[in-house]
A and B are shown apart, each in its own frame.
Chain A
Amino acid sequence: MAEVLRIKTPLTDAVVSSLKSGNSVLITGVMYTGRDAAHKRMIDALNRGEKLPFDIQGQIIYYVGPSPAKPDRPIGSAGPTTSYRMDAYAPTLIKLGLKGMIGKGWRAKEVIDACMKYKAIYFGATGGAGALIARSIRKADVIAYDDLGPEAVRKIEVVDFPAIVINDAYGNDLYVKGVEEYKQSEEAHT
């Protein structure tokens, strides 16, 4: 297991600046969930001059559509969904003060640029580890767009949520660096 940093939400610029691509982190505090449909609604609301359903300053949005909670559990399985589908919306939210996003998969250049310009972090979580990740989510309440079901915006409280810094505020990309490190030529023998 690589060295792990413990961080708390909301994220300050100091914390964002200290994180480097490749750092493993455990996140504790409040986060918000949102994926495709919720992002569209949030951006539509902004375009109409309305406010977002929560104060986005310093916050992290976790790209997840959890499965239904069993009785006596705060949430069902809750692993990350693929992030590129939120690329069209993310730069606007980062500009407004969003400091972190958690998902899986590569981001568009516009998102990486926004992370550098406004100081924000893109974290990766392990896709398909929804049952494991759910253990770090202690509380979940739908705070907006209830009609979207799994896509509703939830306020969640997490303790030691496991993630890794993919894109830091300096333009580094773990997906690029990691692949470069392990790529072998066709002729190479393992």
Chain B
Amino acid sequence: MMREVKVKQITDAVSRLCMEANFDIPADIMDAVSKAYREEASPQGRDVLKQIIDNDEIAHNERVPMCQDTGLAVFFVELGQDVHITGGLLNDAINDGVRKGYKEGYLRKSTCNPFTRKNVGDNTPSVIHVEVVAGDRIKITMAAKGGGSENMSRVMMLKPSDGLEGIKKYIIDRVGESGSNPCPPVIVGVGIGGTFERSALIAKKSLLRPLDVPNPDPELDKLERELLTSINKLGIGPMGLGGRTTALGVHVIVEPCHIASLPLAVNIQCHSARHKETTL
């Protein structure tokens, strides 16, 4: 039995998600920044963390975006295979929701032509990843991805002989070389395995996991904690002014890869880690 979902429901939900994601910092991020503020050794680092806390409270209370870079709108859609979308196409419905949400929420439109750099004007097209799953619901997760931290992200096709040590070194070096650019404290999303494009996708997806939820795999949980400790020894600190809080978390997703390959993607996320989900 197919369950019907009208495109208007999707558009309205997406519009709301775009605004709420940009106004309301997720509770796990606020908790992690507050904890860092209490524990940070650097006085200037503490000043920055206080500014971030105050800023995110203003954004929430006044319904304004916490960061002027309200991002490209990235969507992860889990589409139940017993859902029938009526009245139009899924992608059109999502893009209509982005147009509406970015206009009504006074959010910045940041999509442009790569050559002429001319602004498209309505923040579309959004980036939409659809996965068909069991059931008759649609789960839509919206992530507002800013340019500053995205620019510091990389995909690296390592050699299998580089092994785990090569993986760790690349991740730590990437955060180190990014320095102050991606608005630390950052969250480091890591995708290991898959193919060239798959590694990037799972790295981005890993950023959706709340900071207070450990990796379900004990070995990966250990790896994440080890990487976080090493990264926080780099000394970069809040906004790169020096300090102990360079990253709030490291999230790793691993998938099998080709016998010839060792794909590694590092997707850096700034402290404005904005995402919001809803189920229709």
A residues engaging B (CB < 8 A)? 1-2, 22, 24, 36-37, 40, 64-70, 76-79, 81-82, 84, 104-106, 124, 126-135, 148-151, 162, 164, 174-175, 177-186, 188, 190
Contact = CB atoms under 8 A, between A and B. Distances in A.
Contacts of B179: 105-106, 175, 179
B117 A36 contact: yes
Contacts of A105: 148, 179-181, 240
A101 B148 CA distance: 18
Nearest to B271: A128
23 contacts: A2-B43, A65-B68, A67-B68, A67-B70, A68-B107, A104-B183, A105-B181, A105-B240, A106-B240, A126-B239, A128-B183, A128-B270, A129-B51, A130-B68, A131-B65, A133-B55, A150-B119, A175-B241, A178-B42, A178-B237, A179-B179, A179-B242, A183-B234
B219 interface: no
- Chain B: interface size category: 35 or more
Name the prevailing secondary structure of the B interface residues: loop
Interface stretch (B56-64, B72-80, B191-199): B56-64
B242 to A, nearest CB: 2
B64 A131 contact: yes
B148 A77 contact: no
Contact of A186 (B59, B65, B230, B271): B230
Interface in B221-263: 230, 233-237, 239-244
B43 A131 contact: no
Contacts of B270: 127-128
A22 B43 CA distance: 11
Given A24-B47, A148-B119, A175-B240, A182 B42 contact: yes
A189 B55 CA distance: 32
Nearest to A22: B44
A183 B235 contact: yes
B121 interface: yes
Contact of A81 (B44, B52, B69): B69
A106 B181 contact: yes
Contacts of B165: none
